[in-house]
Amino acid sequence: MSALQTRSTAWSTDTLVAGLLWTVALGIIGLFGWIVGDLFVRGIADLSVDFLTQPPQQGGRAGGISTVLVGTIYLVSVALAVALPIGIGAAIVLAEGNKAETPFGRVVRRSLDILAGVPSIVFGLFGLAFFGQFLGWGWSIASGGMTLACMILPVLVRSTEESLRAVPLSLRQGAAALGLSQGAVLWHLTLPAATQGIMAGIVLSIGRALAETAALLFTAGAAIRMPESVFDSARSLSYHIYLLAIEVPGGAGQAYASAIVLVGLLGLINVLATGFARQFQHKQHK
């Protein structure tokens, strides 16, 4: 085969692969636009300022979602407050302390992989038995938030560990050659370099927590009054959408409007997380 034919074949292969990649990318964008567009078409009429500031009425077919939003924020906040320090700390130990190569590290990693695939309803039953009954918290934000923390820990640990391991070893070796301590290397070099990956894991964890329904059915309850403490019952936004769509006659419009708010909340969190990651990297590189 001549050099011209070889170049022609390589060009054809590259063009085919690029075309497939662009097709997949455009397909994903189109699917996302289709879903969001359908939500707006069906729910925009019920979306208003009063919808965000008033509590649900008549089982949710009237009023708004203010108390549901507050309950959702409480649930996700409790989950992140527990999961972030434990998850990131465990990932640092596994990635930087070379614990993943020991038998203990392999058991931890395999356990995380199994937990990541456990159905959410199983987490809900565990949360009901342990947090709700054994600890006596009942249906509450504390029970729901702790259950969500258990659910998102595997994703958070594995994504953070892989992000830390993706940082080039030469970066650590160069810093060590300059006399920097392991803690200084971690804080000033490794974490900033891995920030984007860590934030991606956090966003995925928040997304799973916001979208969870089955586990919160057993742990957080479905109260629509304004929660006054973490030991009060609260209804999550995703569970509220399910009830409006399935069990509340005439609640379809409110369900679609609530779904728009949920998607918007996820988008806002994504933007804020990306901005924080860039700011942290810029600050650490000064």
What are the boundaries of each domain within the chain?
Answer: 3-46, 69-234
Place of tokens 């006399």: 179
Record the pTM: 0.84
Residue 223's pLDDT is what?
85
* Angle subtended by helix axes 103-116 and 66-96, to nearest 10: 160
Residue 233's pLDDT is what?
92
Residue 286's pLDDT is what?
58
What is the separation of C-alpha 192 from the centre of its chain, rounded to a whole number of angstroms? 20
- Beta partners for residue 57, in sequence order: 62
Residue 13's pLDDT is what?
76
H or E segment to which residue 63 belongs: strand 62-63
Residue 15's pLDDT is what?
81
With contact defined as beta carbons under 8 Å apart, do 281 and 195 qualify? yes
Cβ-Cβ contacts under 8 Å for 75 (sequence gap 6 or more): 141, 144, 145, 148, 209, 216, 220, 234, 236
Low-confidence residues of the chain, pLDDT below 70? 1-11, 97-101, 277, 280-286
Looking at CATH, the fold of the domain delimited by 69-234 is given as MetI-like fold (1.10.3720)
Residue 276's pLDDT is what?
75
For 89-102, write each residue's pLDDT tens digit: 888 888 876 555 67
H or E segment to which residue 56 belongs: strand 56-57
